[in-house]
Amino acid sequence: MLEEMRLEHVREHGWDAPFAVVWRQVAEDCVELLAIDRPDSTSTLTQGPKEAWGITFEQALAIAHDNLRDATPERFVEVAAGIFKGAWQDAYDTSRVLLPDVLQRVPVKGRPVFKLPTRDCLLVVGDRDETAMAGMLELSLEAAAHGRCISSLVFAYDARRIVPFALPQPEHRRRQADLRRVMEASTYSVQKEFLEKIHAANQDDIFVASYHVFEENDGSGRQFSVVTWTRGVDTSLPRVERIAFVTPKQDGDADVVFVQWDTAVAVVADLMEQEPDFYPPRFRARDFPSEAQLRQLA
């Protein structure tokens, strides 16, 4: 949401216009903004509390948390063994992770760990229930296929602070990575649409590369993300797991070299300039690797 707001601001006012939205970072891919909730609408206060209120942003957040707590009866439903889902259905289900006391009352095995895969889906399990963790990831993948994606991370509380939770099992981490790819593909697609409109309006000849997800051809079902970097094309690259370096040939065919992202960066980092303020990140590639660099990559 925040990236869409920022790029819409750029589209209307240009890259140099200050983006003065007031927000608080909750996690790597989550932020908190103020909103006014009315019976028939919700207004996001992108500039923070109104000056006439005479309070700071932090004070306004504290009031908002109290108001949300007052509007939070016990409403978790056990959708599978050990997996609880918020069932308020008032557009603030995921916002309730800001109320640790609410989630700590959920009857899970151990301390609560939770996911907010989409805006309307809050899932809670216990940190001692690995079967429920696996189920939570599968439900998150289902939700991400149909809802407005928020986060692929799993969270817990450190005192009252929201922190990432490291999944204990390799298979859990693999499915979390699958979820991350689903969400990144969606987010990068929206970002690409905005950027193409901005570049067209500015008459900038920049190719906004797509984020693709493929399966390994070994029958394992494992996935990977990939982007195409083509010789002679000024390109904006998403952050992926593999890069396909493409050198077109005169007969219409092409030479293609697939390289892991980290391996590529070790060789051609000087050709990849991280573009400021993008989330998820993008890297500007104005030039293509030399023949010597391609031999290193191959």
The reply to whether 277 and 224 lie within a common domain is yes
Instruction: List the end-to-end C-alpha distance of the chain, in Å, as a whole number.
Output: 39
The reply to whether 56 and 157 lie within a common domain is yes
pTM for this prediction:
0.91
The reply to whether 160 and 231 lie within a common domain is no
- Side-chain-side CA neighbours of residue 98 (13 Å): 23
The reply to whether 119 and 210 lie within a common domain is no
Number of domains in the chain: 2
The reply to whether 236 and 151 lie within a common domain is no
The reply to whether 25 and 136 lie within a common domain is yes
Residue 106 has pLDDT above 90, yes or no: yes
The reply to whether 223 and 137 lie within a common domain is no
Of the candidates 168, 196, 222, which is a domain's last residue? 168
Residue 191 lies in a domain: no
Residue written as tokens 């923070």? 48
Residue 6 lies in a domain: no
Residue 250 lies in a domain: yes
Residues 181-200: tens digit of each pLDDT? 999 999 999 999 999 999 99
Residue 91 lies in a domain: yes
Of the candidates 147, 168, 189, which is a domain's last residue? 168
Residue 26 has pLDDT above 90, yes or no: yes
Residues 82-100: tens digit of each pLDDT? 999 999 999 899 999 999 9
The reply to whether 215 and 157 lie within a common domain is no
Helix (H) or strand (E) holding 89: none
Residue 165 has pLDDT above 90, yes or no: yes
Residue 2 lies in a domain: no
Residue 58 lies in a domain: yes
The reply to whether 133 and 216 lie within a common domain is no
Per-residue model confidence (pLDDT) at position 109: 97
Q: How far is CA 3 from CA 20, 143, 167, 259, 261, in A?
A: 13, 21, 27, 29, 24
Residues 199-237: tens digit of each pLDDT? 999 999 999 999 999 998 887 889 999 999 999 999 999
Per-residue model confidence (pLDDT) at position 138: 97
The reply to whether 54 and 153 lie within a common domain is yes
The reply to whether 162 and 216 lie within a common domain is no
The reply to whether 94 and 219 lie within a common domain is no
Of the candidates 151, 168, 185, which is a domain's last residue? 168
Residue 199 lies in a domain: no
Residue 92 lies in a domain: yes
Structural domain boundaries enclosing 80: 18-168
Residue 2 has pLDDT above 90, yes or no: no
Distance CA 154, CA 162 (A): 10
Distance CA 20, CA 33 (A): 13
